[in-house]
Chains A and B, each alone.
Chain A
Amino acid sequence: MDPKAAALMAAGLCMGIGAIGPAIAIGSLVGKALEGIARQPEASNQIQTAMFIGIAFAEAIALYALVVAFLLIFVA
């Protein structure tokens, strides 16, 4: 197979598969945070803060996959 075509296909697969994990993680995180807020609305500030930090960590993994996809398209 042409190496350029293989690199492009790999980039597509990389971003596609690499976004499954963070999506599941963020969904379950926000769900648990909502449960926590529903149980005790006074703690909603702290729960929200912790939720945002958790989302940033999970999002970073998806962005690593994006960086690898960019490297595959433009450098290989």
Chain B
Amino acid sequence: MEILEHFYVKVIVPIEVFGIDISITNLTVALISAAVLFLAFFVLLALRPKIIPGKGQVAIEMLVNFIKRNIVYNMIGKKEGDRWFPLIGGIFIFVLSCSLIGIIPGLYTPTANPIVNITLAAVVFLTVQISCIVKTGIRGFIRSFAPKAVPSWMYVIVVPIEIISAIAKPFSLFVRLTANMLAGLTIIYVILGLILYFESYLIAVVAYPFAIVMTLFKIFVAVIQAYIFAVLSALYIGEAVKPKH
């Protein structure tokens, strides 16, 4: 089935180093082109900052302000937020650029591959747990699974739920992003594949505008999913860093 072929990356240039396979695949090409494209775009816009900003500089300042105020300061607070701003900003721009690079025909969408997304979710998971241990020590870490506001006979139920939710929250981040990106891809494959299946040009008159509408919707969904990923990671980090139990 052609929908599953998105999960198999195609090797373009095989490279092997000491038995580890680091060949260049179409995933690598898409990742590198996403990074280079967006970095070049942002760097060119903000190359010579002036006191009275020009149009490009205003756009970059709006973007950075948006990430700083609406995402980081809202969820983590002003003092701690300055430490976590690079990570959250990096996650936001990375997910946004990797999701948008799939619009270009022929390129692979890195965020539709489960391996890339599970790596991102693992980064958020490890950041949350390790920052909780560093902030409150081992005692505080184990204490965070048993909130004080609960009467002591309910610990039997609340502690397993807390442990499961500590794993389920980054897992839900991963599933949400992968399924959204995969659904956008699959819908366009299916609609344009109808033209090939029926082998007539009459279907193309209806299917082609619908595919264009679905591509616009895919861009909208990609932007919102990048925002949600960043906001939820900031929320989980903020919960771990400001202990209220």
A contact residues vs B (CB 8 Å cutoff): 49, 52-53, 56, 59-60, 63-64, 66-67, 74
Contacts and interface: CB of A to CB of B under 8 A. Distances in A.
B179 interface: yes
Contact of A67 (B1, B74, B175): B175
B74 A49 contact: yes
Nearest to A62: B179
A67 B235 CA distance: 25
Nearest to B4: A74
B172 to A, nearest CB: 5
Contacts of B172: 60
B153 to A, nearest CB: 30
Interface of B is mostly: helix
Contacts of B232: 53, 56
Nearest to A60: B176
Nearest to A74: B4
Interface of A is mostly: helix
Interface residues of B, number: 17
Interface in B144-185: 172, 175-176, 179-180, 183
A64 B23 CA distance: 33
A13 B126 CA distance: 37
Contacts of B180: 59, 63
Contact of B227 (A52, A64, A66, A67): A52
Looking at A53, A56, A66, A67, which has the most chain B CB atoms within 10 Å of its CB? A56
Contact of A56 (B1, B4, B176, B183): B176
B233 to A, nearest CB: 12
List the 6 closest A-B pairs by CB distance, nearest first: A63-B179, A56-B228, A60-B176, A60-B172, A66-B179, A63-B176
A15 B197 CA distance: 24
A57 B175 CA distance: 11
B138 to A, nearest CB: 31
A71 B4 CA distance: 11
Contacts of A74: 1, 4
A31 B7 CA distance: 38
